[in-house]
Amino acid sequence: MKNLIVVRGGGELGSAIACCLHRTGFRVLILEQPQPTSIRRRVAFADAVARGEAEVERLTCHCVESWDEAKRMLKQGEITLLTDPEGKCISWFKPNVVIDAITASKPVGTNQSMAPFTLALGPGYCAGRDVDVVVDTSRGHNLGRLVREGYASKNHDTAAPTEVDTLPEHIVTAPVAGRVEMMQTISMMVKQGDLLARIHVKGGQVTEVRAPLAGVLRGSLPHGSIVAAGDKIADINTHLEQEDCFTVSDKARCISGSVLEAVVAWSSAQKKKFRFF
């Protein structure tokens, strides 16, 4: 399929990338897991897994159940999502580009054999060995930098759930494993010590999770999610306005622009490579 790009991961970063690519004329297929872990759900197409469709900044993504249905939706110009965490459908769709936006801080299977051009976000992947290009996702001077050889810098904002000690204070994690009962909704203002969630564990015990600081609840897992100890369950921001919960962040916009640059540069190089006049 012409101009098809597969984005692995429908969280905020993957969704911002999907929006940017879709608006510039590419077909975008997002691959997610059956129970997404994105907490910024108001700006994440991953929410379509539970609701059938999700909207991010006036663009709608449709979750479909079959590869054939996905192909039909893509031909209609729709952003489409499949639950396929292992990327089994990639060899069937044969996309021009595969983008790993899972941000797991370690390789999760994306490799150069998946497509003519491959790209990954953040630390974990080696540019030139695992994928063609890595985009630095660490806030600061190197945010959005395209790494064509070697690794991106370590990013504390997207640290793996097991690295609890590296997470910033505004990220709230589950102290125990169990089923999450959220007591606040996204965009609500919370005070330090407010009850954010209850985690129901086996045996009927309940563990309360309280806000570590005051601010706006920028994101949270959906009610009823099953979590392990250390999993991210909420994000509190002390600087944003409530309406900012419904738009992608400056970081996500920067990264999506860098991804677009990398994709267009590669596409342009291919056209020049096969020009015979």
Residues 106 and 85 in one domain: yes
CATH for 202: 2.40.50.100
Spatial CA neighbour of 167 closest among 112, 105, 222, 110: 105
pLDDT (tens, 9 = 90+) of the chain, 277 residues, equals 789 999 999 999 999 999 999 999 999 999 999 999 999 999 999 999 999 999 999 999 999 999 999 999 999 999 999 999 999 999 999 999 999 999 988 889 999 999 999 999 989 899 999 999 999 999 899 999 999 999 988 764 544 433 334 457 789 999 999 999 999 999 999 999 999 999 999 888 999 999 999 999 999 999 899 999 999 999 999 988 899 999 999 999 999 999 999 999 999 988 876 554 4
Residues 123 and 218 in one domain: no
Taking the complete model, does pTM exceed 0.85, yes or no? yes
In a domain, 27, yes or no: yes
Q: Structural domain tally of the chain?
A: 2
Distance (Å) of CA 9 to CA 15, 38, 141, 189: 8, 9, 25, 28
Residues 9 and 104 in one domain: yes
CA distance 206 to 113: 46
Q: Domain containing 74: what range?
A: 4-158+248-273
In a domain, 164, yes or no: no
Amino acid of residue 93 = F
Residues 31 and 93 in one domain: yes
Q: What is the 3-class SS of 117-166, one letter each residue?
A: EEEEECCCCCECCCECEEECCCCCCCCCCEECCECCCCCHHHCCCCCHHH
- The β-bridge relationship of strands 195-200 and 178-182 is antiparallel
In a domain, 166, yes or no: no
CATH for 64: 3.40.50
The residue assigned the tokens 């677009």 is: 260
Residues 228 and 253 in one domain: no
In a domain, 243, yes or no: no
Residues 127 and 232 in one domain: no
Structure tokens at 176: 């125990």
Residues 41 and 66 in one domain: yes
